[in-house]
Amino acid sequence: MPRGEHISKKQLEDSGETARQLMHKARGEHDFAAHGSASGREPILQVRGLVKHYPLTQGIVIRKQIGAVKAVDGVDFDLGQGETLGIVGESGCGKSTVAKMLVNLERPTAGEIRYKGEDISKLSGRALKAVRRNIQMVFQDPYTSLNPRMTVGDIIGEPYEIHPEVAPKGSRRQKVRELLDVVGLNPEYINRYPHQFSGGQRQRIGIARGLALRPEIIVADEPVSALDVSVQAQVVNLLDQLQNDFDLSYVFIAHDLSIVRHISDRVGVMYLGRIVEIGSEDEIYEHPTHPYTQALLSAVPVPDPEAREHRERIILSGDVPSPANPPSGCRFRTRCWKARERCALEVPALAVPAEFRGVEGPAAHDSACHFAEEKQVVP
Ligand SMILES: Nc1ncnc2c1ncn2[C@@H]1O[C@H](COP(=O)(O)OP(=O)(O)OP(=O)(O)O)[C@@H](O)[C@H]1O
């Protein structure tokens, strides 16, 4: 659509998007204003149209691409300054791939990752190195992510080898001791090896390493999933406290909605490479409008036995389709009890659904469903 051309009211109603979103789409631009962080904070990270396709090849001598695994296929979100955004979804929905692209371990196939307004997804060399310092990752499995042959001091201090400007050689051990203290470990453990620590302690070491360069953003990829339930809360509380102490912004990835609730200001629910619903913690847990979110919530453990009896369990039929061949239209439709013909034909936009537009209240948040409706699942 050429500049200056108007978008009709009908187009707007049919698409479920805002006029600004449609205009940007028509111009092939990403809309950086439309996903303003709902928490009202200044966005530190803006992700638009993020795509990662892994090529599927055939043949040994002559390799031919026969398709692609659409691991991430058009993800948009904002991360506000000092905010925690939880990203939740089943195994294989693309959460880790998003995380890897945010910290530049993977290059996006398309889309933009703006850090303080600058697209960092295409940076290289010095400029990339400078930005990477500010966005660090905490990995899922503290048993495999720490080198067993390195001492804790060397593991935590390793980032200083790449960024010596943060800590000159003489000051490094002292800095590592301080970091051990910050994450609740005895600084005297600096010469110990990973196998001498418990799972929770190892994750604290991973967090200390993530903090070494004083980043502004931490991307935590299932940081507590490999830990005992009793230890999970301690590590989540530590992350919460560090956020206050160091003014950190978090992207916190998990496969379980119950884990991210405590720590998240906002939550995005992913399904087969896309975010299907995103909103504040209250909007997602108390006023979900997407059937997939409602199904995930219905599986969250409820401690109160009486409340448990009254809650409705939504059992989804079938398996998650292959990301190499996702369903047309709405990707969730093959497992959705509400699916109708429209769902196979039209991709639902991640926007406030038509029925909630102009309505004040927690149901009016972004949900990619043609037949979105509010349903309270957790009693
Ligand atoms: N390097 C790769 N090459 C090909 N396919 C890949 C690659 N990495 C991931 N995938 C595929 O992309 C999809 C998304 O994977 P990803 O690890 O991001 O999902 P996830 O939601 O983090 O799952 P999990 O919780 O199990 O880690 C999966 O189908 C996975 O098999």
* Atom 17, ligand 1: residue with shortest CA distance: 96
User: How far is it, in rounded angstroms, from Cα 206 to Cα 245?
Assistant: 18
Closest CA relative to residue 353, chosen from 40, 18, 86? 18
Is residue 280 exposed (0-12), middle (13-18) or buried (19+ Cβ within 10 Å)?
middle
317 lines ligand 1 (CB under 6 A): no
Asked if residues 284 and 264 have their Cβ atoms less than 8 Å apart, the reply is no
Q: Is pLDDT at 316 greater than 60 in this prediction?
A: yes
Tell me the average pLDDT across 99-106: 94
- Provide the residue type at 224 as one letter: V
Distance 309 CA to ligand 1 centre (A): 36
pLDDT score of 336 more than 70? yes
pLDDT the model gives residue 370: 96
φ, ψ dihedrals at 190, nearest 5°: -55, -30
Is the distance from the beta carbon of residue 140 to the nearest atom of ligand 1 less than 6 Å? Answer: no
Gap from CA of 278 to ligand 1 centroid (Å): 21
| Ligand 1 pocket, residue 288 CB under 6 Å | no
Task: State if residue 95 touches ligand 1 by the CB under 6 angstroms criterion.
Answer: yes
Mutate to test the pocket of ligand 1, among 75, 88, 93 (most ligand atoms within 8 A of CB): 93
Give residue 311's pLDDT band: very low, low, confident or very high (50, 70, 90). confident
Helix pair angle (199-211, 229-246), 10° resolution: 20
Nearest-5° angle of CA 25, CA 27, CA 32?
Answer: 60
Q: Taking the model in full, what pTM does it have?
A: 0.87
Residue owning the nearest CA to atom 26 of ligand 1: 91
Residues with Cβ within 8 Å of residue 359, at least 6 apart in sequence? none
In tens, the pLDDT along 151-172 reads 999 999 999 999 998 988 889 9
* Cα 96 to ligand 1 centroid, rounded to whole Å: 7
What tens digit of pLDDT does each residue of 256-287 get? 888 888 899 999 999 999 999 999 999 999 99
Q: In terms of Cα–Cα distance, which of 49, 100, 36 is closest to 75? A: 49
* 54 alpha carbon – ligand 1 mean position (Å): 9
**What confidence score (pLDDT) does residue 36 get?**
44
Q: Structure tokens of 316?
A: 């989804």
Could you write out the DSSP letters of every residue in 301-325? --S-HHHHHHSPP-PPPS-PPPTTS
Q: How far is the CA of 342 from the centre of ligand 1 (A)?
A: 29
What does the buried/exposed string (b/e) look like for 34-56 if buried means 16 or more CB atoms within 10 Å of the residue's CB? bbebbbebebbbbbbbbbbbbee
Residue range 331-355: average pLDDT? Answer: 94
Nearest CA to ligand 1 atom 28: 92
SS3 66: strand
For atom 29 of ligand 1, the residue with the nearest CA is: 92
When the pLDDT of each residue in the chain is averaged and rounded to a whole number, the result is: 86
Site to substitute for ligand 1 among 69, 107, 222, 271, most atoms within 8 A of C-beta: 69
Centre of ligand 1 from the C-alpha of residue 335, in Å: 20
Q: Which atom of ligand 1 is nearest to the CA of 52?
A: 12
